[in-house]
């Protein structure tokens, strides 16, 4: 291999067995070598460093890109393409200081995640998984479920919140949303009422979380906030486990204060087999799979390939999160 060859590490699993040289054809045409070393979202920083050191660009999964990893890789590393919308795993400030560009994939898999939010909502309301389990066990099932009606509160009204609101428009529901930076144009177009956080929490029959993992929202769904909610509320989480205090949620699910929860994201991932949530019948669990559809994964790969090709050309990708990185190169 020539000394100056540009090297790109794809650290996510290629579950679709895509031809990565074809997906990254623009980067390959510019002389890049594409290496696929899946890290399966490891949290072990040494493992990340071992996989990424010496590469010019990485396509990053949910492994940590903290100061230690970034500093260890900074000799070669020029740019990161986050394989997804969330980027709380990347220390943006440190990356900027080290002159490393960081992009995410905003909006690329939003439709898939919104679809799963709807699927989870219907699964918990209509007791799909409960009925499925009881039929398989002994076939005896007490039947009574809820139809999708009432008020749905979206906490976070960004790309996924908006897509979910579109899907909800065919149901007889009132959709309200809280967002500190509300998109009134989208809200008006979708018939969504923007409300303050407390109103959203107090008035909803179903609360769906679409928040980023920002410090102010750590453990937002906790006892004090749950106490404000209507009795018998449902909680849907396709965002991050970071925003939910799982112990308080489990308590409220046991007491019936919360009638049911459908969760795709957890504090510990992969899902902790000892989690108390597993013991509760009124919970639907999915393994952070909302964005994992054939179509969405292909689109995120294509997006990341475009980001890497732009980095190599010296262009500024549209999804660049830290334009100030260039001052530190
Ligand atoms: N389950 C999955 O597979 C999956 C896939 C993609 C994204 N996600 C997660 O879903 C969430 C939403 O993603 P998105 O693509 O819609 O992001 P987005 O950036 O488009 O939207 C997030 C919205 O939250 C708002 N926001 C910021 N701080 C807030 C706060 N303190 N309270 C309420 N809202 C706040 C922002 O203004 C923005 O409108 C993120 O946590 C993301 O990581 C999960």
Residues 130, 101: one domain? no
The yes-or-no verdict on residue 1 having pLDDT over 50 is no
Residue bearing the CA closest to ligand 1, atom 44? 239
Is residue 41 predicted with pLDDT exceeding 90?
Answer: no
Distances (CA, A) of 133 to 138, 278, 286: 9, 13, 15
Active-site residue flag, 318 = no
How far apart are the C-alpha atoms of 90 and 102, rounded to whole Å? 8
The answer, yes or no, to whether residue 2 has pLDDT greater than 80, is no
| pLDDT confidence tier of residue 194, bands split at 50, 70 and 90 | very high
Q: Is the pLDDT of residue 15 over 50?
A: yes
Q: Ligand 1 atom 6: the closest Cα is on which residue?
A: 85
Are residues 189 and 131 part of one domain? yes
Say what the alpha-carbon torsion angle 304, 311, 91, 207 is, to the nearest 10 degrees.
-30
Cβ of residue 217 lying under 6 Å from some atom of ligand 1: yes
Per DSSP, the residues of 105-138 read: -TTTTHHHHHHHHHHHHHHHHTTHHHHHHHHHHT
HSE (side-chain half, CA atoms, 13 Å) at 172: 3
What number of other Cβ atoms are within 10 A of residue 58's Cβ?
31
Residue 121 lies in a domain: yes
pTM > 0.85: yes or no: yes
**Strands 101-103 vs 193-194: parallel, antiparallel or unpaired:** unpaired
Which of 87, 213, 111 has its CA nearest to residue 162? 111
User: Could you give the number of structural domains in the chain?
Assistant: 2
> Is the domain of 124 the same as that of 217?
yes
Q: Write down the catalytic residue from 82, 210, 240, 303.
A: 240
User: What are 278-311's pLDDT values in tens digits?
Assistant: 999 999 999 999 999 999 999 999 999 999 999 9
Long-range contacts of 290-297 (CB under 8 A, 24+ apart): 290/112, 290/113, 290/116, 290/117, 290/238, 290/264, 291/84, 291/109, 291/112, 291/113, 291/116, 292/15, 292/112, 293/112, 293/115, 294/16, 295/112, 296/108, 296/109, 296/111, 296/112, 297/15, 297/16, 297/109
Pocket test for ligand 1, best of 12, 83, 158, 292 (most atoms within 8 A of CB): 158
How sure is the predictor about 3, in pLDDT bands with cuts at 50, 70 and 90? low
Residues 252 and 202 both lie in one domain: yes
Beta carbon of 215 within 6 Å of any ligand 1 atom: no
pLDDT of 121-152, one tens digit each? 999 999 999 999 999 998 876 899 999 999 99
Ligand 1 atom 37: residue of nearest CA:
181
The mean pLDDT of the chain is 97
Let me know whether 43 and 182 are in one domain: no
Is residue 1, in this structure, part of any structural domain at all?
A: no
Residue 155, phi then psi, degrees to nearest 5: -95, 105
pLDDT at 4 over 90: no
Range of the domain at 314: 6-108+293-328
Average pLDDT in the 3-32 region? 95
Distance between Cα 132 and ligand 1 center (Å)? 31
Q: Does the pLDDT at position 180 exceed 90?
A: yes
CATH code, 97: 3.40.50.720
How far away, in angstroms, is 70 Cα from ligand 1 center? 24
For residue 322, pLDDT beyond 50: yes
Residue 92 domain flag: yes
Instruction: For ligand 1, atom 41, name the residue with the nearest CA.
Output: 212
Q: 138 and 270, same structural domain?
A: yes
Inter-residue contact 9 to 35 (CB < 8 Å)? yes
pLDDT in tens, 238-270: 999 999 999 999 999 999 999 999 999 999 999
**Residue whose C-alpha is closest to residue 284's, from 258, 311, 321, 307:** 258
Asked if 13 and 30 sit in the same domain, the reply is yes
Same domain, residue pair 142 and 215: yes
Verify that 158 and 280 share a domain, yes or no.
Answer: yes
pLDDT, one tens digit per residue, over 51-63 is: 999 999 999 999 9
Regarding whether 167 and 104 lie in a shared domain, the answer is no
Residues 174 and 269 in one domain: yes
| Shared domain check, 310 and 251 | no
Tokens at residue 82, please?
């986050």
């Amino acid at each position: 291999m020539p000394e100056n060859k540009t090297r790109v590490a794809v650290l996510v699993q290629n579950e679709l067995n895509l031809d990565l040289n074809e997906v990254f054809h623009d980067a390959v045409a510019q002389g890049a070598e594409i290496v696929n070393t899946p890290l399966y979202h490891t949290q072990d920083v040494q493992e990340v460093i071992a996989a990424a050191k010496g590469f010019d660009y990485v396509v990053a999964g949910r492994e940590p890109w903290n100061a230690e990893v970034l500093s260890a890789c900074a000799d070669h590393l020029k740019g990161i393409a986050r394989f997804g919308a969330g980027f709380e795993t990347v220390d943006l400030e440190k990356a900027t200081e080290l002159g490393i560009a960081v992009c995410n994939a905003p909006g690329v898999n939003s439709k898939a995640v919104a679809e799963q939010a709807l699927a989870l909502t219907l699964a918990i309301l209509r007791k799909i998984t409960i009925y499925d389990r009881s039929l398989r066990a002994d076939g005896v099932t007490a039947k009574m479920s809820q139809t999708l009606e009432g008020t749905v509160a979206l906490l976070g009204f960004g790309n996924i919140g908006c897509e979910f609101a579109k899907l909800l428009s065919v149901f007889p529901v009132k959709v309200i949303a809280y967002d500190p930076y509300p998109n009134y144009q989208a809200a008006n177009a979708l018939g969504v009422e923007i409300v303050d956080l407390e109103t959203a929490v107090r008035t909803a029959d179903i609360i769906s979380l679409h928040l980023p993992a920002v410090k102010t929202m750590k453990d937002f769904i906790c006892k004090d906030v749950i106490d404000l909610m209507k009795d018998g509320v449902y909680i849907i989480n396709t965002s991050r486990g970071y925003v939910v205090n799982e112990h308080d949620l489990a308590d409220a699910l046991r007491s019936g204060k919360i009638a049911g929860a459908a969760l795709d994201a957890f504090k510990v991932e992969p899902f902790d087999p000892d989690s108390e949530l597993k013991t509760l019948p009124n919970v639907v669990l999915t393994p952070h799979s909302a964005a994992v559809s054939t179509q969405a994964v292909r689109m995120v790969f294509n997006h990341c390939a475009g980001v890497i090709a732009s980095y190599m050309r010296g262009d500024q990708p549209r999804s660049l999160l830290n334009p100030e990185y260039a001052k530190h190169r």
